Structure 1
Amino acid sequence: MPSQSSGGCPVDEGQTSAETPLVAGRFDGDQILVPLLTREVPVLTDQLKVATTLARVTGASLTVINPFPDPEQAPNVYRHEATDCENASLLDWVFEQTDESLPQVESDFLYAWDVVRGVLQAVRRRDVDTLLVPSSSGTSRLRKRMTEQLATHADADVIVVNGQAGFSKAASILLPIASGPHSGLAADVATSIAADYDAWIDILHVIDEEAPDHQRERAETLVEDISHRIARPETTATWVLEAPDTAKAIIDQSRYYGLTVIGAPTKSRLRRFIFGSTNATVRADADSVVLSARNNSDISETR
């Protein structure tokens, strides 16, 4: 696997180019689960706006859960009987944000000694196919760890909302793409949002300035495959950009877009620690809202 310094968008660790499908993963969007893992209003607002947008386009069922790590704060059912005013008010606020966008949003309190384990159990119990969680460059270590654990272990695809706060009706979407298991999911998420907002999509793949011809040909094939998948030729453009640093190139371009959608990291945790991750760098430094899409489905089922 090429290192971060190669400048190109790498394929999965442990797979050769021949083994890795150019485009894999898909967005089903039948059951979307939104756990409220923060009380920060800008982060919550973006999380809910993204969730309602995706649910509106796909006709998905949207469920919001409010996890409780403290057993003394856990009412059995949320209606007017809820005993914790602060948390009941939070769900009331959630309904206010979503009532005009969707005909029905389910909500519930979730009690678990371990919030991560409780959310993972809720994913399995509710047959969730998409988990939408928050993160941000300024988030606490605890929430970063929770988000990473959920993304890694959930029996569902995971969309992480991060980058600059302020998700709104984006006129244009940047879709930096790499071959591998998350490319199709990222493309489908961008397509769903673009369809709802009538937005333009720029498909971007970054290669090293000295990349050999076969890498350039593969890059062109990749962006064309993604463009065909999106199937909106009037509002989609492809772009193979030569640059020495992949993450910096994406960050520089993100300032011109209202939204950036990128696939999850494909390096192992050790390699990310040593070499860094394009995904993590973009999420931390991009000048737009960033959605990171992780395909947790079996790759053989999503080609």
Structure 2
Amino acid sequence: MATASEDRPVLVAIANPEHAEQLARTAGDLARATDGVVQIVSVVVKSHESPFSVYTDDAILEQYSGDAQETLDRATKVAPEDVTVTGELVVGNSVSDGLLTAIERTDARALVVGWQERRGRTDAVLGTTVDRLLKRASCDLYVERIGSEANGVDSVLLPVAGGPHVRPAATIAKAIAARNDATVTVTAVIGADVDTDVAQESTVDAQLALEETPGPSVDVQIRLHDSDDVVGTLVDEVADHDVLVFGATRQGALHRRLVGSIPRTVIKRTDRTVILARADDAVGGPVLRQLQRLRNLP
């Protein structure tokens, strides 16, 4: 009999086979923690304006899914070998429509997608696709920067300032650390808008989330910084780590900077892997605005 985890797969959206290994690895980390499965999804777009809109989905998949099927096949070949991996082609009026359909049909536990800085045309899942997923995806959502992969992971940085998105951020931080026998460093900044008690409470909550999330135990370190320069402090901190994981936050100076300055500054100044986490019960809000700023980087 299938377990609950097996019944709720971790979906990973692949639009470009060159990004498949990176994104499938992250999805594999999430699935491995609960003995779950990874389901790779490639979307065949049937726009309303297309003459193919009169065809049934089955007919479109049978006759016009060549590129998407090739992407799916290549992605499956480079997926982690120690987790169960399946693949599915989905027809949708847009990429986001297809992914939302897949989420609802499979009751997915999480979805992993990729994004890139806007430096010309890209085939990564980003922009309006990510915006719509952030608003409507009914599962945990993980958005990973394409192209910046850690060559071995010794330390994962998890900045915190409270809020519901700490849970999924802790989940992926622990999953990555477990595969690499790495340390998760939980950090908070004490400053003008965040007193010592609030910062300590945030780190305690994150540590509890790390303990409660499934998977083997990992080494956890707590690091508190006392500085009014929250952005500069965290940018300096990131240099000592291989992966940065964060989600939307709830209050204080760190909240405002995670929504705005921190992602923009970190992306420009680090080659570290960056993953953003959004909880399954969130609808739009700060993380949506955060991604909108990210995709408008020069």
Structure 1 length normalisation: TM-score? 0.73
Q: Does 1:91 align with 2:67?
A: no
Structure 2 residue corresponding to 1:186, chosen from 163, 169, 181: 169
In 1: Cα distance, 2:12 partner to 2:184 partner:
26
Alignment deviations for residues 124-168 of structure 1 (CA, whole Å, 9 cap, x no partner): 121112111111234659822211221221111111111751145
Match of 1:23 in 2: none
1:47 and 1:298, CA in 2 relative to 1: closer, same or farther beyond 3 A?
Answer: closer
Structure 2 residue corresponding to 1:76, chosen from 48, 58, 64: 58
In 1: Cα distance, 2:248 partner to 2:137 partner:
14
Equivalent residue runs for 1:37-56 within 5 Å: 38-39=15-16, 41=18, 43-56=19-32
Counterpart contact for 1:171–1:197, Cα < 8 Å: yes
1:211 and 1:87, CA in 2 relative to 1: closer, same or farther beyond 3 A?
Answer: closer
Of all paired residues, the percent bearing the same amino acid is 22
1:99 and 1:216, CA in 2 relative to 1: closer, same or farther beyond 3 A?
Answer: closer
Counterpart contact for 2:181–2:218, Cα < 8 Å: no
Structure 1 residue corresponding to 2:260, chosen from 268, 276, 279: 276
Match of 1:217 in 2: 197
AA at the equivalent of 1:254: V
Report how many aligned residue pairs link the two structures: 261
Counterpart contact for 1:163–1:288, Cα < 8 Å: no
Counterpart contact for 1:110–1:118, Cα < 8 Å: yes
1:109 and 1:46, CA in 2 relative to 1: closer, same or farther beyond 3 A?
Answer: same
* Structure 1 residue 197, shift from structure 2 partner: 1.6
Q: Does 1:235 align with 2:219?
A: yes
Q: Does 1:258 align with 2:242?
A: yes
Match of 2:43 in 1: 67
* Structure 1 residue 211, shift from structure 2 partner: 5.5
SS in 1 for 2:107: coil
In 2: Cα distance, 1:283 partner to 1:294 partner:
19
Equivalent residue runs for 1:140-155 within 5 Å: 143-155=126-138
SS in 1 for 2:204: helix
Alignment deviations for residues 56-83 of structure 1 (CA, whole Å, 9 cap, x no partner): 222122111111224659983999x775
In 1: Cα distance, 2:105 partner to 2:17 partner:
27
In 2: Cα distance, 1:198 partner to 1:87 partner:
35
Alignment deviations for residues 84-115 of structure 1 (CA, whole Å, 9 cap, x no partner): 4433222121111125232x322111111222
RMSD value over aligned CA atoms?
3.5
Match of 1:294 in 2: 278
Counterpart contact for 1:164–1:287, Cα < 8 Å: no
* Structure 1 residue 200, shift from structure 2 partner: 0.8
Match of 2:144 in 1: 161
Match of 1:115 in 2: 95
AA at the equivalent of 1:91: L
AA at the equivalent of 2:227: A
* Structure 1 residue 207, shift from structure 2 partner: 2.7
In 1: Cα distance, 2:9 partner to 2:181 partner:
24
Structure 2 residue corresponding to 1:125, chosen from 96, 101, 105: 105
AA at the equivalent of 1:96: K
In 1: Cα distance, 2:240 partner to 2:118 partner:
22
Q: Does 1:201 align with 2:184?
A: yes
In 1: Cα distance, 2:20 partner to 2:250 partner:
27
Counterpart contact for 1:247–1:279, Cα < 8 Å: no
Counterpart contact for 2:20–2:79, Cα < 8 Å: no
Q: Does 1:134 align with 2:134?
A: no
Structure 2 length normalisation: TM-score? 0.74
Alignment deviations for residues 150-195 of structure 1 (CA, whole Å, 9 cap, x no partner): 1221111111111751145411111111111111221122112212
In 2: Cα distance, 1:105 partner to 1:234 partner:
25
SS in 2 for 1:143: coil
User: Which sits farther off after the overlay, 170-179 or 276-285?
Assistant: 276-285
Counterpart contact for 1:205–1:239, Cα < 8 Å: yes
AA at the equivalent of 1:100: E
* Structure 1 residue 277, shift from structure 2 partner: 5.0
1:31 and 1:283, CA in 2 relative to 1: closer, same or farther beyond 3 A?
Answer: farther
1:283 and 1:295, CA in 2 relative to 1: closer, same or farther beyond 3 A?
Answer: farther
AA at the equivalent of 1:69: V
